[in-house]
C-alpha cells in the first residue's frame, strides 16, 4: 500500500485519475462525463454530467442488498425512547415523508426548511428532501426567532418541517412559538408548516390553513412508493447557514455528486467505517457534523448511525459508553468540549462498560488542547484522532488517514492535510510559511469534491469572502491561524476574523453585537471571544449605555446585564448569550473609527494587547481594564 504522503501527492497532481477512482464508491444513474471542470476559477464542478441521488446511495442500495440490517438507531434519554430502523424500514419512512412533501407541493429545486430536535423524523425529512430533489436547509433547534427569520428570508422555503418542542436536560424546549414569531418577522412566508407533535408542548397553536399534522398525513401515505429523482452531480443538495463577519449568515451551498463521493471516500479512508458496522456522532443535525456524519456519511457507507437526543451526563456520565456497549459502536465522533465535560466526572464511568467494539474516537469542532487529548486517549486506551474542518468544506481538511497509513498520533494536532486538499500555511503577503512560522491556513483551489460550490444566491459573496485574501496565488482562506512543525503536523491557533467558536458552534461577533444593541439602553457594543477552559471560547460584551443613570449602582448594573443577556437569548438563542456584559463609557478605536477588538480580546484574556498607540482615546483602555477587574 502507498504511504499517505504518496496518496496525498497523487490526489493533488492527478486529481482526475484520483477522484475518478473514488467515484466508484457510490452508485451513478448516469456516469460522469468529466471528472473536474475548473474552467471558471474559483468555481469548480465535480463529476460533470453524472447523475446520482444522495438518498439512493444512503438508503435504497442498502435496502436492496441488506434490508434487515440496522440503519438508524434513535436514542433519547430525554423521553426515554429507543427505536431501531432497518434499511427497509428507513426506506419506507423516507418514502412516506417524501410523499407528504409532494402532496404539499414540494418538487425538485424547492427549499424545505427543517427546524427540529434530534428525532428520527428529522432524519426522514432530510433524506426525503434529497430523494425528490428538494433542497433542505436545516436550522439548529436552539436558534431564536430573529435568526430563524433571516434564514427563512434567504432560503425562501416552500415548506417548513418542525416539531412542538425539543428536550434538553429533562426540560421541554418549545419550538412552535419561536417558529410562528419567525414566520411573522420573515418577508418570505412558507406555504405550509408540517408539524410533528411529540406531546411535549400542550399549549402550541395550529395556524389554520397553513399548519398540517404529520401523523395524519403519514397515515394517508403508508404505502407510498416515491422513486428517487436523479440529479446532475453539481445540482444543490442542501443549504447550511454559517456565521459571517457581517450580521447576515452565509448559506453554504453543497452539490450532490461531489458530496456523496467525498463522504464515501472519507468513511473508507479516514474513519474506516464499513457496511454492517455502527457509527455514533454526538453532534446535532443543525451543524455540519450532523449532516455529514450522523445522516449521510455513515448511511452511504452502509453503517448503522446512532441519532442521540440528550446530554453527555444525563442520566449519568456513562450514557455514551452505555450506548457504545449496547449497540456495539465501532466509530465514534464528538467534540473537545464534550470531552472536557466528561473529564470533570467520576472516571469510573469510563471503565464501567465494554468498549471493545470501538476502534477509535474522532474529535472536531474547535481546537483540541494537548491535556484534553492526552487524558481521553489515556482513559479509553484507544486512538483519539483530532480532525480539522469547517461547515464550508463538509468533511475533514486535516486528519490522520488511517485507512491508508497508521501514522503516529501527536497530542493537540489534527495532523496532516487530507487528500484532495492542497493545504498550506500562508504569510499575509501570500507566500508560504516555513515550519514553525505562524500563518493563515489556506487551500490552493480547486477545492476538492464535497466542499461548498458557492454561497446560496450570492456568487459574488462566495468569491469576496473566501478568495479575496490573496490574489496571487488565488487561495481559499479558512480564516484560521495555523502552524506546522518539521514533520508536517499542523496545529490550529484560532480565528483571524470576528467569528468565535463556542463549544464547536461558530458565532459571528457582529451578530451578537447586533442582538445586544437590540436593547434600548445600549448605544454601542464590542463583543469578543474570550478563551474558556470548557467551551474553547465564550462571548464577552463591552457595552456603552445611552444614559449613565442606568448603571449608577451595582444593583442597576446587574439588572441591566440580565436584561441584555435576555435580549440576546430572544434574538439569537442561549448559545450566543454573553458570559459577561461589562459596562464602559467608551470603546477603544483608532482615529479612523476602527474598533480594536483584538486588543480588547487580549486584555480580556490577560495577554499583551500589542501596539496601542493608534487608539484615539487612551482612557477607553483603562475603562476596559477596570471593567475586567470588577
What percent of the chain has pLDDT above 70?
97
Is 397 part of any domain?
A: no
* First vs last C-alpha separation in the chain: 61
- For the record, the C-alpha cell of 292 comes out as 455529514
- For the record, the C-alpha cell of 60 comes out as 435504497
Q: Taking a C-beta distance cutoff of 8 angstroms, is the pair 111, 83 a contact?
A: no
Alpha-carbon gap, residue 525 to 583, rounded angstroms: 9
Is 597 part of any domain?
A: yes
Alpha-carbon gap, residue 66 to 42, rounded angstroms: 41
Alpha-carbon gap, residue 567 to 543, rounded angstroms: 14
Q: Taking a C-beta distance cutoff of 8 angstroms, is the pair 74, 53 a contact?
A: no
Q: pLDDT of 107-157, one tens digit each?
A: 999 999 999 999 999 999 999 999 999 999 999 887 889 889 999 999 999
Q: What does the DSSP 8-state code read for residue 568?
A: H
Nearest to residue 423, comparing CAs of 496, 362, 484, 471? 484
- For the record, the C-alpha cell of 220 comes out as 394517508
Supply the pLDDT for residue 353. 96
Is 510 part of any domain?
A: yes
Q: Report the CATH number at residue 598.
A: 3.30.300.30
Residues 472, 475, 481, 482, CA torsion sign: negative
Between 536 and 446, name the one with better pLDDT: 446
Q: Taking a C-beta distance cutoff of 8 angstroms, is the pair 579, 564 a contact?
A: no
Q: In sequence order, which ranges of 189-318 are alpha helices (DSSP H)?
A: 214-220, 257-269, 288-290, 297-300
Q: pLDDT of 279-313, one tens digit each?
A: 999 999 998 999 999 999 999 999 999 999 999 99
Q: pLDDT of 385-399, one tens digit each?
A: 999 999 999 999 999
What percent of the chain has pLDDT above 90?
72
Residue range of the domain that includes 512: 500-629
pTM, to two decimals: 0.85
Distances (CA, A) of 179 to 149, 183, 205, 214, 381: 8, 6, 11, 16, 45
**Mean of all residue pLDDT scores within the chain:** 92
Alpha-carbon gap, residue 151 to 139, rounded angstroms: 8
Q: Is pLDDT of 444 > 70? A: yes
If you search the block for the grid coordinates 490573496, which residue do you land on? 470
Is 511 part of any domain?
A: yes
Supply the pLDDT for residue 244. 59
Burial class (CB in 10 A: 0-12, 13-18, 19+), 617: middle
Looking at residues 442-457, what average pLDDT do you find?
A: 98
Least confident segment among 84-88, 240-244, 441-445 = 240-244
Is 560 part of any domain?
A: yes
Is 546 part of any domain?
A: yes
What DSSP string runs through 31-81?
--SEEEEEEETTEEEEEET-EE-HHIIIIIHHHHH-TTSEEEEEEETTTTE
Q: Is pLDDT of 593 > 60? A: no
Contacts of residue 152, Cβ cutoff 8 Å, sequence gap at least 6: 113, 160, 182, 183, 186, 188, 190
Q: Taking a C-beta distance cutoff of 8 angstroms, is the pair 49, 232 a contact?
A: yes
Q: In sequence order, which ranges of 396-485 are alpha helices (DSSP H)?
A: 459-466
Looking at residues 43-48, what average pLDDT do you find?
A: 98
Q: pLDDT of 171-200, one tens digit each?
A: 999 999 999 999 999 999 999 999 999 999
List of E strands, 87-188: 111-115, 135-138, 159-163, 165-168, 171-174
Half-sphere exposure in the Cβ direction for 117 (13 Å, CA) = 27
Q: How many domains does the chain have?
A: 1
Least confident segment among 135-144, 446-455, 461-470, 620-629 = 620-629
Is 340 part of any domain?
A: no
Alpha-carbon gap, residue 433 to 44, rounded angstroms: 26
Is 371 part of any domain?
A: no
Q: Is pLDDT of 614 > 60? A: no
Amino acid at each position: 500500500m502507498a504511504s499517505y504522503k504518496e496518496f496525498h501527492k497523487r490526489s493533488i497532481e492527478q486529481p482526475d485519475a484520483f477522484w475518478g477512482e473514488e467515484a466508484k464508491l457510490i452508485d451513478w444513474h448516469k456516469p460522469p462525463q468529466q471528472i473536474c471542470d475548473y474552467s471558471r476559477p474559483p468555481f469548480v464542478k465535480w463529476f460533470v454530467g453524472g447523475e446520482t441521488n444522495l438518498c439512493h446511495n444512503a438508503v435504497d442500495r442498502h435496502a436492496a442488498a441488506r434490508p434487515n440490517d440496522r440503519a438508524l438507531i434513535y436514542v433519547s434519554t430525554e423521553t426515554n425512547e429507543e427505536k431501531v430502523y432497518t434499511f427497509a424500514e428507513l426506506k419506507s419512512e423516507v418514502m412516506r415523508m417524501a410523499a407528504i412533501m409532494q402532496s404539499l407541493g414540494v418538487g425538485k429545486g424547492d427549499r424545505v426548511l427543517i427546524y427540529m430536535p434530534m428525532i428520527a423524523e428529522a432524519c426522514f425529512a432530510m433524506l426525503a428532501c434529497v430523494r425528490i430533489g428538494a433542497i433542505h436547509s436545516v436550522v439548529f433547534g436552539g436558534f431564536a426567532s430573529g435568526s430563524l427569520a433571516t434564514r427563512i428570508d434567504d432560503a425562501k422555503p416552500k415548506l417548513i418541517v418542525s416539531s412542538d418542542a425539543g428536550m434538553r436536560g429533562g426540560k421541554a424546549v418549545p419550538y412552535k412559538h419561536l417558529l410562528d414569531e419567525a414566520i411573522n418577522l420573515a418577508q418570505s412566508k412558507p406555504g405550509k408548516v408540517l408539524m410533528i407533535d411529540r406531546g411535549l408542548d400542550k399549549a402550541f397553536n395550529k395556524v389554520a390553513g397553513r399548519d398540517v399534522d404529520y401523523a395524519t398525513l403519514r397515515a394517508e401515505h403508508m404505502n407510498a412508493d416515491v422513486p428517487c429523482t436523479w440529479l446532475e452531480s453539481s445540482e444543490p443538495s442542501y443549504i447550511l447557514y454559517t456565521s459571517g463577519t457581517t450580521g447576515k449568515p452565509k448559506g453554504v451551498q453543497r452539490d450532490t455528486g461531489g458530496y456523496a463521493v467525498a463522504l464515501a471516500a472519507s468513511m473508507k479512508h479516514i474513519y474506516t467505517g464499513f457496511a454492517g458496522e455502527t457509527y455514533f456522532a454526538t453532534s446535532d443535525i443543525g451543524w455540519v457534523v450532523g449532516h455529514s456524519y450522523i445522516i449521510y456519511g455513515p448511511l452511504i457507507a452502509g453503517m448503522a448511525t446512532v441519532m442521540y437526543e440528550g446530554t453527555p451526563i444525563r442520566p449519568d456520565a456513562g450514557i455514551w459508553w452505555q450506548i457504545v456497549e449496547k449497540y456495539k459502536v465501532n466509530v465514534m465522533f464528538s467534540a473537545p468540549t464534550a470531552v472536557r465535560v466528561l473529564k470533570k466526572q467520576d472516571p469510573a464511568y469510563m471503565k464501567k462498560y465494554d468498549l471493545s467494539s470501538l476502534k477509535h474516537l474522532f474529535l472536531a469542532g474547535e481546537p483540541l488542547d494537548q491535556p484534553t487529548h492526552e487524558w481521553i486517549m489515556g482513559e479509553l486506551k484507544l486512538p483519539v484522532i483530532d480532525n480539522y474542518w469547517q461547515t464550508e468544506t463538509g468533511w475533514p481538511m486535516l486528519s490522520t488517514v488511517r485507512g491508508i497509513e497508521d501514522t503516529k498520533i501527536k497530542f493537540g494536532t489534527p495532523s496532516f492535510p487530507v487528500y484532495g486538499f492542497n493545504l498550506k500555511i500562508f504569510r499575509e503577503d501570500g507566500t508560504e510559511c516555513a515550519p514553525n512560522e505562524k500563518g493563515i491556513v489556506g487551500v490552493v483551489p480547486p477545492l476538492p469534491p464535497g466542499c461548498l460550490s458557492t454561497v446560496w444566491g450570492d456568487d459574488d459573496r462566495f468569491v469576496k469572502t473566501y478568495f479575496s485574501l490573496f490574489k496571487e496565488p488565488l487561495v481559499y482562506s479558512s480564516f484560521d491561524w495555523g502552524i506546522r512543525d518539521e514533520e508536517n503536523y499542523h496545529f490550529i491557533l484560532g480565528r483571524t476574523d470576528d467569528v468565535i467558536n463556542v463549544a464547536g458552534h461558530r458565532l459571528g461577533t457582529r451578530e451578537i453585537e447586533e442582538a445586544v444593541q437590540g436593547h434600548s439602553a445600549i448605544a454601542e457594543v464590542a463583543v469578543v471571544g474570550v478563551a474558556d477552559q470548557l467551551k474553547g471560547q465564550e462571548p464577552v460584551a463591552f457595552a456603552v449605555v445611552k444614559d449613565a443613570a442606568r448603571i449608577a449602582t451595582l444593583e442597576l448594573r446587574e439588572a441591566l446585564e440580565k436584561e441584555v443577556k435576555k435580549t440576546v437569548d430572544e434574538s439569537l438563542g442561549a448559545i450566543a448569550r454573553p458570559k459577561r456584559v461589562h459596562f464602559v463609557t467608551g470603546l477603544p478605536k483608532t482615529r479612523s473609527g476602527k474598533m480594536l477588538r483584538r486588543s480588547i480580546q487580549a486584555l480580556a484574556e490577560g495577554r499583551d494587547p500589542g501596539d496601542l498607540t493608534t487608539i484615539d482615546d487612551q482612557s477607553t483602555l483603562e475603562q476596559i481594564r477596570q471593567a475586567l477587574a470588577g
